[in-house]
Amino acid sequence: MGIPMSLDVPGARRAPAWALVTDAFEVLHAANRRFSRFDPSSEVSRYGRGEIAPGEMSDDLREVLAVAERASADSGGAFSVRRPDGSLDTDGVVKGWAAQRAVDVLRAGGLTRFCLNAGGDVAAAGEPEPGRGWNVGVRDPADGRRVLAVLEVRDGAVATSGLYERGNHVWDGRTGEPASGLVSATVVAADLMTADVLATTVLALGPEGVDWARDHGAAAVVAVLPDGRVTTAGTAREDAFV
Amino acid sequence: MAARPWRGTLLYVGAVAAMAAAGIAKFAGVAPEVAAAPAAEATTGSSGTESSGTGSSGTGSSGTGSSSAAAGSADSSGSSDSGTTDGAAGTDTGGGASSSSDDVTIVGDVEQTRYGPIQLSVTFSGDTITDITALQTPSRERESERINQQAVPVLTQEALAAQSAKIDTVSGATYTSQGYLESLQSAIDQRG
């Protein structure tokens, strides 16, 4: 199991950046240990089996569950960390939460210009070169080789949730049915956790989620309908589309 | 003696909480035709533009240089699920028949994944990667064969897109294989 993480740090000295990246990476490792659904001894697995009392939860688990609860309430139940079979699945929150923690490590270490891509979740800071922000492509869900839009981001995060693969992994928590109104949702927000949770929620909500997300922290949304049409909200401009 | 400022892209692979395993399983299969390309084929039409950022990560994890077979013997029938490197003759990778001195094709190390071996052939024009071909991809999960047809091109797109002057990175719902990036990294490291 692995998530590719690429980091672009313009103008930085290699050694200090390297040390920070190692620390950031350790944050992701730690999150994996705690939240792996596939490790029966992870905290989330034990919690799912009812083996952890509320008072015994780690701060991280408590925080992730709180975020999940809030996201579920905000979306009328469309976002849920409970799969249709009732099992607990915190992946939708942990992915962005852990990546944002990694970004926080970089910022705390003094980096102000960087672009991190952790498995498709992007955090951009500063400008890669004077006068322009980071250009973040949005993958075309119909063709992995193509980019269907380019979003310019200076200090923000971009996350995408999509039904690229045959097996659907996003459910509408309100109905228990697989999400089908959109094939892809990309959200730009201030931080990766927000962007990631919102992207997943927009996918779960369907087309109505595109405008909904703007009232819940999304600076911009780019979504693709099953027929291939693209719908947007927020600051994405028409000329951003390639 | 000031250290040279570094602008580049580090490629990492790591385990992240709970997000990838199900997705990875879907990307672990192979499309038989993907693995057919021979290793030592020089690409044509390389623009020869100067490197714009992926280039050498200089991670210091110098490739072990152990099992980089140039044979391109990608067994994709689904029968070889021993996870060992089939046909890994251990011969020198070599750049193959490059038509120009700047075009080099390097075969990355065979990386073992849970689902089988993965090995990439990476073509450089100067410091720029112009092509990535999968020589070996995992073949265990037959159900995921069709899915993996997308997975390798998607990964290639990301590696290539990162070099584009217009696009710095790509956001997508991607779950990618650890082995892919390690093989890519080893090719970059060998390039130096």
- pLDDT tens-place string over residues B64-92: 222 222 222 222 233 333 333 333 333 33
Tokens representing B133 are 């071909």
Residue B15: which of A21, A32, A94 has the nearest Cβ?
A32
> What pLDDT was estimated at residue B137?
64
Chain-chain contact of A37 with B18 (C-beta, under 8 angstroms) = yes
pTM above 0.90, yes or no: no
The distance of Cα B57 from the centroid of its chain, to the nearest Å, equals 14
- Evaluate whether residue B78 is within a structural domain: yes
With CA atoms as reference, the chain B residue closest to A134 would be B168
ipTM, interface predicted TM-score of the complex? 0.88
- Evaluate whether residue B17 is within a structural domain: no
Q: Under a CB-based contact definition with an 8 Å cutoff, are residues B111 and B119 in contact? A: yes
Cβ of A83: how many Cβ atoms within 10 Å? Answer: 15
CB-based contact, B165 to chain A, within 8 Å: no
Please indicate whether residue A122 or residue B51 has the higher confidence score (pLDDT). A122
Residue B170: which of A25, A98, A139 has the nearest Cβ?
A139
Please give the full DSSP string across B4-53, using - where no structure is assigned. Answer: PPB--EEEEEE--TTTSHHHHHHT----GGGGG--TTBPPS----PPP-S
Closest C-alpha to A145, from B74, B9, B165, B132: B132
Residue A150: which of B16, B166, B178 has the nearest Cβ?
B166
Range of the domain at A117: 5-240
Q: Per residue in A6-44, pLDDT tens?
A: 778 887 666 677 788 888 888 888 888 899 888 899 999
Range of the domain at B117: 35-43+66-191
Q: Per residue in B89-102, pLDDT tens?
A: 333 333 333 345 56
- Number of residues written out for chain B: 192
Size of interface A-B (CB pairs under 8 A): 212
Burial pattern B105-127, b for ≥16 Cβ within 10 A else e, equals: bbbbbbbbbbbbbbbbbbbbbbb
- Find chain A residues with C-beta within 8 A of B19's C-beta: 3, 91, 94-95, 119
> What pLDDT was estimated at residue B87?
33
Least confident window among A106-120, A137-151, B10-24, B136-150: B10-24
Chain-chain contact of B171 with A120 (C-beta, under 8 angstroms) = yes
Mean pLDDT value across chain B? 46
- Evaluate whether residue B84 is within a structural domain: yes
Closest C-alpha to B56, from B145, B160, B127: B127
Low-confidence ranges of chain A (pLDDT < 50): 1-2, 166-167, 236, 238-242
> What pLDDT was estimated at residue B139?
55
- Evaluate whether residue B52 is within a structural domain: no
Q: Under a CB-based contact definition with an 8 Å cutoff, are residues A6 and A121 in contact? A: no
pLDDT bin (cut points 50, 70, 90) of residue B161 is low
Tokens representing B163 are 């070099």
> What pLDDT was estimated at residue A63?
96
Closest C-alpha to B154, from A140, A57, A162: A140
Total of domains in chain A: 1
- Residues A210, A4: Cα–Cα separation, whole Å: 28
Tokens representing B73 are 């013997």
Q: Regarding beta strands A134-140 and B169-171, do their DSSP bridges make them parallel or antiparallel, or are they unpaired? A: parallel
Please indicate whether residue A238 or residue B21 has the higher confidence score (pLDDT). A238
> What pLDDT was estimated at residue A32?
81
With CA atoms as reference, the chain B residue closest to A36 would be B18
CATH at A114: 3.10.520.10
Total of domains in chain B: 1
> What pLDDT was estimated at residue B113?
60
Residue B169: which of A31, A38, A117 has the nearest Cβ?
A117
Looking at the predicted structure, is the pLDDT value of residue B106 above 80? Answer: no
- Evaluate whether residue B120 is within a structural domain: yes
